[in-house]
Amino acid sequence: MATTVFDSALFRDMFGTPEMRDVFSDEAYLKRCIDAETALARAQAKTGLIPEAAAGGITAKADFGKLDLEQLRHETEIVGYPILPLVRQVSEMCGDAGRYLHWGATTQDIMDTATMLQCARVAIIEEQLYEVREALRDLALKHADTVTAGRTHLQHVLPVTFGFRAAVWLSRHSTVMRNVWSRQKHER
């Protein structure tokens, strides 16, 4: 029995897609945590905080496929977050270099970085937003003459067309997307 719509086979695609569930799956999250830890080690080696050999060992040996996921799940329940048990396992798999894993980092540093790495998969959302924009454009054209009640302040007003309403949604959508794309361009 599903406890949320996200767990439901009936409703889950109303609130997400298989592709987005893959991006935000437990496996993807843990892989991004490992990516954050290995990138941190490489950056620290470049600045001389940890030995180059340690960063190389961490990068080479940190492997999601070698995690004991059941142990990780159990320890996450005890601690309340997955980073401590993850660091423990990855550190062990890295051997001597593992003592430099997570050097100076906080749990929140790694969790936030991993989440942002997941969010960087924005191309999936952009594609879906393009599809929404096209659907709104089609609705606006198809229903240019379909009369419907106008509404303002929760009351009926003079009639408008459904096409006009869809065009307004399209306009708002386009404005939001221009702002997002402009922000992304500026941040690059």
Instruction: List, for residues 72-103, the tens digit of each pLDDT value.
Output: 999 999 999 999 999 999 999 999 999 999 99
Asked whether the predicted pLDDT for residue 30 surpasses 80, the reply is yes
Q: Residue 112 is encoded by which pair of tokens?
A: 């936030």
In a domain, 3, yes or no: no
pLDDT digits (tens, 9 = 90+) for 137-171: 999 999 999 999 988 888 999 999 999 999 999 98
Specify whether 19 is located in the same domain as 85. yes
Under 8 Å between Cβ of 11 and 32:
no
3-state class percentages of the chain: helix first, strand second, coil last, to nearest 5: 70, 5, 25
Specify whether 24 is located in the same domain as 111. yes
- What is the model's pLDDT at position 187? 63
Which CATH number belongs to the domain containing residue 109 in this structure? 1.10.275.10
Specify whether 68 is located in the same domain as 37. yes
Residue 177: pLDDT band with limits 50, 70, 90: low
pLDDT digits (tens, 9 = 90+) for 43-77: 999 999 999 999 999 999 999 999 999 999 999 99
Specify whether 102 is located in the same domain as 165. no
Rounded to whole angstroms, the Cα distance separating 115 from 118 reads 5
In a domain, 5, yes or no: no
Geometric angle at alpha carbon 78, from 20 and 117, rounded to 5°: 30
- What is the model's pLDDT at position 180? 62
- What is the model's pLDDT at position 13? 80
Average pLDDT, the chain: 90
Specify whether 174 is located in the same domain as 104. no
Q: Residue 66 is encoded by which pair of tokens?
A: 């070698």
Q: List residues bridging with 13 in a β-sheet.
A: none
In a domain, 1, yes or no: no
Specify whether 89 is located in the same domain as 148. no
Specify whether 107 is located in the same domain as 147. no
Specify whether 90 is located in the same domain as 180. no
Note down the domain range covering 135: 125-187
Cα–Cα nearest to 91, from 63, 71, 69 = 63
Tokens 């998969």 appear where? 121
Specify whether 89 is located in the same domain as 161. no
Asked whether the predicted pLDDT for residue 9 surpasses 80, the reply is yes
Three-state DSSP class for residue 2: coil
Specify whether 37 is located in the same domain as 98. yes
Asked whether the predicted pLDDT for residue 1 surpasses 90, the reply is no
Specify whether 25 is located in the same domain as 109. yes
Residue 38: pLDDT band with limits 50, 70, 90: very high
Specify whether 36 is located in the same domain as 82. yes
